[in-house]
Amino acid sequence: MRKRTFVVLLVLIAAAGAAARVAYKSTHPERPAYTITWQVTAYDAKGAATPLYMETRYVSSSGNWRGVKQYADGKVEEMFAEVGEGVFLKRGEKMHFLSNHRLSPTRTVEGFLKSPDYLRTETVLGHTALVIKAANDPVGRTEFFYAPILNSDIKIIFRGGRTTVQEPISLIFGEPDAALVKMPKGLAVDRTNYERMHGTHDVKN
């Protein structure tokens, strides 16, 4: 149950980040391709750390990606994102629909710096990261570290009952092998959880 909760949590965080950045000025250069690995760790009020999982995400310049999560107990989960189709969690012989997936605009640094949600600038894995909070989060419980070089978030911090940190530990640029990104076809798609949370009006891309 706890693992499922964190899958949903990270999907919601990603959705909130996209919503927070949707109004920023954009340009349309070529999209980066890369492979990134995160360590996701939870910290209690005393700072004690509990490793949750590691995720490696293979990101194509097409906007499609595949994420492989490896939990401490040995369990492995796969997530797939295909432009125009959506983001899916693969479990057994089913693809569970998590969210829509459209190509996001490339945001400009100037747009972030002028935003009231901008908090500060940091360096993550040697790359500039603009730290912003979600627009609907006045106390800044969630911080997104947007890396212009990736046109995406490189790190996320969520502060709730405990603090969850999605920390990058490896980043390699270059187009991943197509087999590492390709979403499996022919599996049944289950939209039950998405429709329970969002209704049926926004299921299609």
In this predicted structure, what is the pLDDT of residue 9? Answer: 52
In this predicted structure, what is the pLDDT of residue 46? Answer: 92
In this predicted structure, what is the pLDDT of residue 4? Answer: 47
**pLDDT per residue as tens digits for the range 63-78:** 999 999 999 889 999 9
Structurally, at CATH architecture level, domain 2-197 sits in: Clam (2.50)
Both structure tokens of 98: 């998590």
- HEC-encoded secondary structure of 87-155: EEEEECCEEEEEECCCCCCEECHHHHHHCCCEEEEEEECCEEEEEEECCCCCCCCEEEEEECCCCEEEE
User: Which residue stretches of the chain have pLDDT < 50?
Assistant: 1, 3-8, 10, 12-29
Instruction: Give the global pTM.
Output: 0.80
